[in-house]
Amino acid sequence: MKKLLAILLTVCFMLGVFAACTNDNTPANTNEPASNNNNENPGQTQTNTPVSEGLDLSVSKEPKKDWVTYLTLANEMETFNILYSQNNKELRVLTSCIDGLLSNDNRGNLVPAIAETWGTEDGGKTWTFNLRKGVQWVNMNGEPMQEVKAEDWLVGLEWVLNFYKNEAANTSMPTEMIEGAADYYAYVAGYQDLEIPADADAATKEKLTKDYEKAKAKFEAVCEKYDLEPVRLTADEAKSMDLTVFKKMVGIEAPDDYTLIYHCVAELPYFATWLSFFSVCSGFATVATYNCLYPAPQALIDQLGVDGFYACTNENMWYNGCYTITHYINGNEKVLTKNPMYWDTDCTLFDTVTYKMVESGDVAFQMFQAGELDYIELTESNLRTIYNSESNEFHDYIVEARPTKYSYQLHLCWDKRDENGDPDVNWNTAIANENFRLAWYYGLDATAYLARTNFIYPQHCANYCYTMSNLVSFSDGTDYTDRVMEKLGISPDGENYARVDAAKAAEYKAKAMEELTAKGVTFPVVVDYYIQGSSQTALDTANVLKQMFSDCLGDDFVTLNIKTYISSVNKEVRNPQLASFYINGWGADYADPQNYLGQETYGMDNAYYSVSYSKANNITDENLIAVYEEFTNMVNAANAIVDDMDARYEAYAEAEKYMLEHALVIPWYKNVLWQVTHVNDYSKIYAPYGIQGEKFKNWETSVDPYTTEDYAKLAEAYAAGAGK
């Protein structure tokens, strides 16, 4: 046991040293134009320095030719359309099947994908990508269909921005960044007729009227700007649109088959350069790793029809990435097969990647024990069993995985409904009360919840910010989230959940009960929390959460009601607005706090969490609206600072402090898992933003699982600069 713990601590220490050194040695943000090619990324720190002479850190293993992994049933795919998906459930699979312009290496550096070279000559307002020739779209069987060309990116972006084709998914980044993108979206979406329910109160009537007038005015202004008839499109008319109007309005062009040019709305700092965890990345170019700027072949859309392309399957979609999906059974097995026409002939790929769908982590562990899986994330019970027994067959093989890029929160629903579709007045009134929320914020000690993932070092999973750590840093090397915690007065000690303040929680609870009782709220307030019904692991975790609410807040205040859905949380829970809150997270699409905080702003159609989960735009409580408006103004003010990165991050930190002080969301955890695995995590793509980290490409693997000691060597070698 002591040997194991010593090795694990060595791994953690080495990673910490590497992160600190990298931040210290990465150049400060600049506004100099960047130019990139296959061999180097000017402006980026080169981290692949040789291992210290005489230091033997080699871990030689026989590699695996096929890879078998798993997903729980709660993470079943709901779409094969990569332009539509905004969920890691699909993207973890699809990112290996479709390539975009750029990707990342195992240290977070930008590397070419279908774009061979890229750069800007005007400080980041205009970006040019030069595409490689001969890249093929292929069908499920790997048979070539047609060459990938620049216009495919225009087709893809039109699809994303066309309200009726893509249901408004993935619009936030392009509408914020690309000239005319917001205008095109507004033109196609039009506006809905004003409909006021007969039983609507005055506040609801006023809000509906304002929303209508705002949307109508926006539509008319866009039509006037581009000399378009101010006539709203029908769904059929929008779905039949080609690129004619799109090219007139949107700042993207393909002057030839292998050149792609984007015109950005301004010289925004996250289009130029910014500081990321391991390197300085070339701004807008990092957005080019994300699926909102992915290509789509017009020929396939013509073949399937607009609705058919939206609902494409593994059998009729086209691929240009490492793998095709040759076998798919919903709720069961799916198989990715190496693309024989893949453009990168020098990379390392598996012959096949197989996903096994399982009910729970415990079932997956049984399969791993039987040799049916190559990787296992350990549940609390399995980890305890292995960790506490030196004779266990896996005792010398457990390792703490690298943190994921996701920051998880309690996302509160402001407009909850019951199963009949009627407003849950008791909950909606209670959660609009700031004292009620602050009792949660200061009272909920998440340690027991964190231990479900990492009982050895639960505070490694503690999260106190909305933005994920290691995304951006100030010029003095201070991580952005450290500044936020400093402003909040939070000082983690590694032993306790640092946000908890029992005295404050009791004070806010008493105030909330007094104020809400006067408004007719009944206590305890029933809190509906949904889990996937077939998952025993989810149920066990939910029961821990239920006990936590009882212990921390008291049964006289709230009671957690665990409810279940069958397969789709979106269709069965989110869309009908049945949950009081969700525990879910955000991983950065690009390296700027705007990508986090902008998801929670008020009155914005492209603020993902506000629109999809919290339903912030449906709030009727005047005090809560005022808080949201102030937060939104602070975010917008920070976003307007484009010439001083320190000032920009400072302004965002103030906005995030305000957001958390008013408990608009409640930060919950970071995902730091324990695993037994046949892959060297340090060989995998790493990116603190985007979707490339899920790609099955250039993995270093072993027929035998890596030992804890192996991983200590791998971590040390990575920190020393070895590896790809």
Whole-angstrom distance between the N-terminal and C-terminal Cα of the chain?
A: 33
What tens digit of pLDDT does each residue of 270-323 get? 543 332 322 333 456 677 888 999 999 999 999 999 999 999 999 999 999 999
pLDDT of residue 49: 31
Q: For residue 371, give the amino acid letter.
A: G
Q: Within its chain, how far is the Cα of 393 from the centroid?
A: 35
CA distance 211 to 599: 19
Of all helices (H) and strands (E), which one includes residue 506?
helix 502-518
Of all helices (H) and strands (E), which one includes residue 112?
strand 110-112
User: What's the pTM?
Assistant: 0.76
Computed over every residue of the chain, the mean pLDDT equals 87
pLDDT of residue 26: 26
pLDDT of residue 32: 25
CB-based burial, 33-53: b 16+ in 10 Å, e otherwise: bbbbeeeebebbeebeeebee
pLDDT of residue 290: 85
pLDDT of residue 708: 94
The residue ranges of the chain whose pLDDT is under 70 are: 1-60, 267-285, 722-724
CA distance 596 to 469: 11
> Tokens in use for 192?
């809905």
CA distance 426 to 619: 14
Do 532 and 564 meet the contact criterion of CB atoms below 8 Å apart? yes
> Measuring CA to CA, how many Å separate 216 from each of 191, 193, 219, 461, 611?
6, 9, 5, 46, 19
- Using a 10 angstrom Cβ sphere, with 0-12 exposed, 13-18 middle and 19 or more buried, the burial of residue 174 is buried
What tens digit of pLDDT does each residue of 349-369 get? 999 999 999 988 889 999 999
Residue 376: closest CA among 387, 389, 362, 390: 362
